[in-house]
Amino acid sequence: MIELAIKTALERITGLNAYPLLLPDNEQEGVTFQRISDPEMYAGTLRTGLISARFQVTIYRIDDYTDLLQMDKKIWSEWKKIVHGQLENIPVQFIERSGIRQDKMTLTNRRSQYRLIRDFIIHYAEDTS
């Protein structure tokens, strides 16, 4: 299942806990991921058996904007090398980096929570999802 591979990879690369959809209520730092879309890839009128799944990955860091940016860079540095390879033992054709959004929230304890939201398009065989 591609989601388990993404979770494992994100935890290994960032050193933070990764969660599907949202951070748990008691957590202020970590990584979340969710599938946004997963259209099939076609070659003319033929189905290829591949999908182009867009996953949104969000990194949350407290009081460390620089580290937030470094984590995004580390994820892309590793994932951009995957071409007809594997993401944690799941066969992947390739991975694209897409949109980015950032923001900051001041917490009640006057600390800052920085958030970086990045889209990745992962091309892989649908039967491995």
Kindly list the distances between the CA atom of residue 35 and the CA atoms of 1, 44, 58, 69, 80, in Å, as whole numbers in the listed order: 12, 26, 12, 22, 19
Q: Tens place of pLDDT for every residue, the chain, 129 residues? A: 899 999 999 999 999 999 999 999 999 999 999 999 988 887 777 777 889 999 999 999 999 999 999 999 999 999 999 999 999 999 999 999 999 999 999 998 999 999 999 999 999 997 754
Tokens of 110: 């006057």
The candidate with the shortest Cα–Cα distance to 16, out of 54, 65, 56, 58, is: 58
Question: Spelled out in words, what is the top-level CATH class assigned to the domain 2-114?
Answer: alpha beta
Tell me which H or E stretch contains 8: helix 2-14
Domain-wise residue ranges, the chain: 2-114
